[in-house]
Amino acid sequence: MTGTAVITGAAEGIGRAIAEEAAVRGMRLVLADIDAAWLEATVAALRATGAEVEGLRTDVSKAAEVDALADLAFSRFGGVGLLVANAGVACAKPVWETTPGDWEWVMGVNLYGVTNALRSFLPRMLASGDPGHVSATASMAGLLSLPSMAAYNASKHAVVTVMEGLHHDLTVRGAKIGASVLCPGWVRTRIALSERNRTAGEVTRPEALDPVARKMVGAVHQAVSQGIEPRDAAKALFTAIDEKRFYVLTHANSRSGVKSRLEDILADRVPTLVRL
């Protein structure tokens, strides 16, 4: 794949790894992130390798800011061959303690960040008539459900079905643009610290959580610290794009978890808690 890659949530973690892999493949880059300092550092690091890179601080939950990102990409490089809507956040609470602000924040970034990108970029990508690809980062939490993660689960399930719908929309129109959804398991990133970008009054206080939720938060931190490297998730994505695969799974046990859920549904059983 050549041309220009646009990646949101690109300052660190999976997004940065995707940008690095795209640069290795000779692609020009337009990177977006809400953290201006981390984004600036990533842009500088990639430029130092010889890559052509533009960066723009972007709150992907705001349609106008994603429009500005699209304007930058098309004005600077003329077209976009790869769009990766990757930005994501998480908070851990039982569903009955998840506030309207929690829902708005998680859905705003994780879901609207994807739909805003599709609305801003796809019309121009389609109008060009050039081949391309669009991917979004969901999670294994888009295929399974974890306790104390209702908002995150819901947002990532939504991303999976949005991308499935996109695949069908593109296919029935004979478009030259492919689609995929990245559903990683545990990856060594800072997503467990994503509330750092919320205002102080909105941040979840660990001491306010019940013991079960506190245990879940601790388990998430440990699992993330023992996860695969972001570059492994990035390589899995590009391999899937090359092979024209839609569902991009990163862990050997991912399929068994999906199979367990499907079997629960078909057998009319209560949901099994799958350990990722």
> At a CB cut-off of 8 Å and minimum separation 6, what does 75 contact?
none
- Tell me which residue of 188, 192, 180 sits closest to 232, measured CA to CA: 188
Residue 237, CB half-sphere, CA atoms under 13 Å: how many?
Answer: 34
Q: Please choose, from the candidates 135, 140, 138, the residue with its C-alpha nearest in 3D space to the C-alpha of residue 255.
A: 140
Measured CA to CA, the distance from residue 95 to residue 108 in angstroms comes to 17
Q: Active-site residue numbers? A: 152
Terminal alpha carbon distance of the chain: 32
Q: What is the Cα–Cα distance from 156 to 95, expressed in whole angstroms? A: 15
Find the DSSP H helices in the chain: 13-24, 36-48, 63-77, 100-110, 112-128, 150-172, 211-225, 230-242, 254-266
